[in-house]
Structure 1
Amino acid sequence: MFKITPNPPETDNTSAQSQAKKHDETTKRVLDHYLLPKPEKSEDASQPGQLFTVAKNADNESLLANLSETLAAADAMVSNLAFDLEGPRRHILLGIQQLIELSSLLANRVLDNVDPR
């Protein structure tokens, strides 16, 4: 019996396998990009022993507001501790409290200069 269509060339089968392999590799690369992102390298991450960092894109107002709140929290903690103690240790904590309060006043002044209300 005579066959109307010729057999496909051998290279087409290899080409199809090659295209399928490229497609699989591309699919894996795209899925890995979205589902398994590589962590971004930062300058701070290379410093050993550094546990905490401040976001580089934080604006000055946010930084100063957080500084002011942190100083207020430290002031409250030192105040509570100072009033439970007596003698020289109490005087040391009250001195530390004054330094915290002074720092808080300075931070609030800078915050007012950045964003006057």
Structure 2
Amino acid sequence: MVGWNITGPGHGFTLVRRDDWQGAVASAPLSHLGFHSPLLLTDSADKLPEAVEAYYKQVAPTYLTTPAEGPYNMTYVIGDWKRISWPLQAHVDFISEMSNRRVWNQSTGGRYSDSGQP
């Protein structure tokens, strides 16, 4: 179970390095205020663990007509650039961003039209 077993889009997440217990403790209020944010852990400044990477892709939102339909995900990144690098933050933003369901299949990297799905 990753991310409180949330399986759909429209949530917040908190990303913290596993060895940053101070950051994890300081981010605890984010799990309750407003945009509830399960704590996701990484053990590297430059790469997500495979399970966390797959989870972000699973809960990434999609739309049929317009991105204004929502829902949106957001991630609070806790720590400085040495703990979670800028390229990793950009990668998290990319894999969790909203995409057009008719055009792009995030799980395979292909077009839905190639797979025969509507």
Larger Rg: 1
- Name whichever structure is richer in helix by fraction: 1
- Asked if Structure 1 and Structure 2 have the same fold, meaning a TM-score greater than 0.5 normalized by the shorter chain, the answer is no
- Name whichever structure is richer in strand by fraction: 2
Q: Bigger relative contact order, structure 1 or 2, given CA contacts below 8 A and separation 6+?
A: 2
- Range of TM-score over shorter length: under 0.3
TM-score w.r.t. length of structure 2 = 0.22
